[in-house]
Chains A and B, each alone.
Chain A
Amino acid sequence: MQLLMKYTLLYSFVLMLVALGGMFSERSGIINIALEGIMVIGGLAGVLATNMMANSSPMMIVTVSILCAAIAGILYSLMLAFASINLKADQTIGGTALNILATAIAMVIAKRINGTQSPRIDYNNGPFIFDIGGLSLNVFIVLGAVLLVVSYVVLYKTRLGLRLRSCGEHPQAAASVGINVFKMRYTGVIFSGLLGGIGGFAYIAPAVQSWNFEVGVSGMGFLALAVMIFGQWKPFRIFLAALFFSLFRAMANIADSIPFLAQLHWPKEIYNMMPFIASMVVLALTSKKSRAPKAEGIPYDKGMR
């Protein structure tokens, strides 16, 4: 039971962080399908930073490596922003390109750093983990909780948030009252890069001490998209949706150690499938009352009515 809780918490904050990122981007009007790739790049940067500072104090390692993950995520997301905002490219295709590119880049860098043909990088995740009452927690849970509240405040209680949301609903109307749509959309994508980068690192670092970059982040970024839709582009709903999805995801990890589930002798793959099936069911049930930002995916054109 404790294991189930551990993994559920672990995954839920990952999914929540990344989905919050997606929320900022889509609320500003840019579909961010590149979250998977941003996670990979953020995770890679975080892991490399952790390794580079192996001799520093734990506090330093945690702060700097998370910063590195965030910055890498932001830089990578700028490629999406540039293509879809400045060049008015197809956002879905641009995002897909960045996903493919991210895994390829991560593999090239990982293999190069290893000096071998294995894309697996080892690291010490000790500084990220702590225990409370026997339950293993990690720093990303604390950070995630803070960022959730911050996200809510930014999106609903600040001028920036209001402007950002208006650009996702009707950019021409927003522009007519003097809001800089380009700037707002860039802000949205940059937030998604920040949260996606941290989310990617949060997925990789606390769980294991060695990561094979060949698998990228095994579809977590795409699950986060489903979490975002299930959460209806609203921060606290996204958190609840993330909890729901990670329960399924956690089952895949611990199915063997729960007596009741182990007796079924289901292959691990069945559990791996479950979050994806659950997301389809949920999407099918909620599709009729979807509250997606109205202008998402449409390049901003000043002259359009």
Chain B
Amino acid sequence: MNNSKTAAALKTMLAALICILAGLVIGFIVLLVLAYTGIAAKGEPFTMLDVIKTAYNDGFKQLLMGGFYLKPRAVRNEIALAAPLIMTGLSVGFAFKTGLFNIGAAGQYTVGALGALIFALIFKLPWYVCLLGAALFGAVWGAIPGFFKAYLNINEVITAIMFNWIGLYAVNTLTYMGGNSPMYNLKTTKTWPIAAKSEWSVIPDLGTTYFKKPATIAIFLAVAIALVLYVVLNKTTFGYELKACGLSKTSAKYAGINEKRNIILSMTISGALAGFGAGLYYLSGVAEWQPLVSTVLPSMGFDGISVALLASSNPIGIILSALFISHISTGGGMMNANLFPPEIADVISGVIIYLCAFLMLFRNALGRIFTRKNKGGTK
């Protein structure tokens, strides 16, 4: 019993590694093409080796090394990015476990950011209250698609997409209000830095001097939540009921589980997780909201999908895959921008999601290889 469980986990991990490897290979090919056109444009003679060298030294190396390319400063950025990514990954992953596809993590994250800013900049409450506020705002935004799904039978994906955009425009309006919003700083065209308005709303410092710049305990909070979620999903009746709904709505109903309530509850929790992630990011003092230029949804929400898929929605795995995604995004930002746009990191994560869409196929194929090896061809 225990043995088969480890084998399954091993297969999942192997499949994820194949996805990552394939994503990196495609990323390297893109770098090669860009390096080739870049060098060829100069009109000087060159060899294929020059192209490969440029692609590696100016792009791929940074991608692989991530934050460690410019340590310790960039390592801090990588970790600051990983904390909210873990949360959006958990948000999407939790919904997956309960049979829902929460594509709305981006919107819940955005609305969660608004919650964090309101509680910190206007009410000036301590950081843990602000975090709960962010989670609360995200939860409301997550509950809406759940409600539409449970009572009106509208696919949660459609509702979530619509509310992503509604959320984005609403947050931009409220943080700006024609320049009159109390959260808006006219000079920087961003929202006020949290520390300037309410010092105790900033998440406490880690207390290490290694990074040369302040780093907060956000990452530990995210990891703690992942562990809690793992226990809830695997060791409690509540988690079991939610998962049962995910596996088969009708059988769950037959077993006396209130499936409508569970759908709304799953989406609410999922939204709260995404909102909490926004809280971790915006209360860390690493970035402010920019209402005038935020015309697209934060990529954090969509990266959460890659994170969750890569980890097969396992909360512990999500911690690792979030670290990986934040690793390559940080690395992508450090490539030679004249040759390689940082969006190559997004290309890689897009390829990974695409491959993850048929991850099951890999897993089954791997399974066949395993059983053949172990049991000499008998099934």
Please list the residues of chain A having a beta carbon within 8 angstroms of any beta carbon in chain B.
Answer: 33, 79, 83, 87-90, 92-94, 96-98, 100-101, 103-105, 107-108, 111-112, 117, 119, 214-216, 218-219, 222, 225-226, 229, 267, 269-270, 272-273, 276-277, 279-280, 283-284, 287-288, 290
Contact = CB atoms under 8 A, between A and B. Distances in A.
Given A101-B351, A226-B158, A272-B169, A287 B152 contact: yes
A53 B354 CA distance: 34
Contacts of A276: 162-163, 165-166
Interface stretch (B116-124, B171-179, B273-281): B171-179
Contact of B305 (A93, A215, A267): A93
B103 interface: yes
B169 A229 contact: no
A272 B361 CA distance: 41
Contacts of B350: 97-98, 100-101, 104
19 contacts: A83-B358, A89-B357, A89-B358, A92-B101, A92-B157, A93-B101, A96-B353, A97-B354, A104-B350, A107-B343, A108-B34, A108-B341, A108-B343, A214-B296, A267-B178, A269-B173, A272-B165, A280-B159, A283-B152
B21 interface: no
Nearest to A284: B152
B295 interface: yes
Interface in B90-127: 101, 103
Contacts of B34: 108, 112
B154 A287 contact: yes
B153 interface: yes
A102 to B, nearest CB: 8
Given A79-B354, A267-B173, A270-B173, 15 more contacts: A33-B157, A87-B357, A89-B357, A93-B356, A96-B353, A100-B349, A103-B343, A107-B343, A107-B346, A108-B341, A222-B161, A269-B170, A272-B165, A276-B166, A288-B153
A197 to B, nearest CB: 18
Contacts of B172: 269
A38 to B, nearest CB: 14
Nearest to A225: B158
Most buried by A among B153, B341, B356: B341
A280 B162 contact: yes
B355 to A, nearest CB: 8
A229 B154 CA distance: 11
B354 A98 contact: yes
Contacts of A96: 103, 302, 305, 353
A94 B166 CA distance: 24
B30 interface: yes
B354 A273 contact: no
Contacts of A83: 354, 357-358
Contacts of A117: 337-338, 341
Contacts of B148: 280, 283-284
Contacts of B37: 112
Chain A interface mostly:
helix
A287 B356 CA distance: 31
B343 A100 contact: no
B5 to A, nearest CB: 24
Given A276-B162, A287-B154, A101 B173 contact: no
A219 B165 contact: yes
Interface in B115-167: 148, 152-154, 157-159, 161-163, 165-166
Contacts of A214: 295-296
A283 B158 contact: yes
Nearest to A113: B37
B254 to A, nearest CB: 21
A51 to B, nearest CB: 17
B142 to A, nearest CB: 15
B162 A279 contact: yes
Tell me which of B101, B148, B157, B309 has the highest count of chain A C-beta atoms within 10 A of its own C-beta: B157
Contact of B357 (A90, A107, A119, A222): A90
B357 A94 contact: yes
Nearest to B157: A92
B253 to A, nearest CB: 20
B166 A104 contact: no
Given A83-B358, A93-B353, A98-B354, A104 B346 contact: yes
B361 A89 contact: yes
B347 interface: yes
B150 to A, nearest CB: 12
A85 to B, nearest CB: 11
B264 interface: no
Contacts of A88: 358, 361
Contacts of A100: 302, 305, 346, 349-350, 353
B358 A215 contact: no
A277 B159 CA distance: 10
B333 to A, nearest CB: 12
A215 B295 contact: yes
A222 B350 CA distance: 18
B344 interface: yes
A229 B166 CA distance: 19
Given A101-B347, A214-B296, A267-B178, A273 B166 contact: yes
Given A83-B354, A108-B30, A267-B177, A273 B169 contact: yes
B337 to A, nearest CB: 6
A43 B28 CA distance: 26
B264 to A, nearest CB: 15
A215 B295 CA distance: 7
A278 to B, nearest CB: 10
A103 B296 CA distance: 11
A107 B351 CA distance: 15
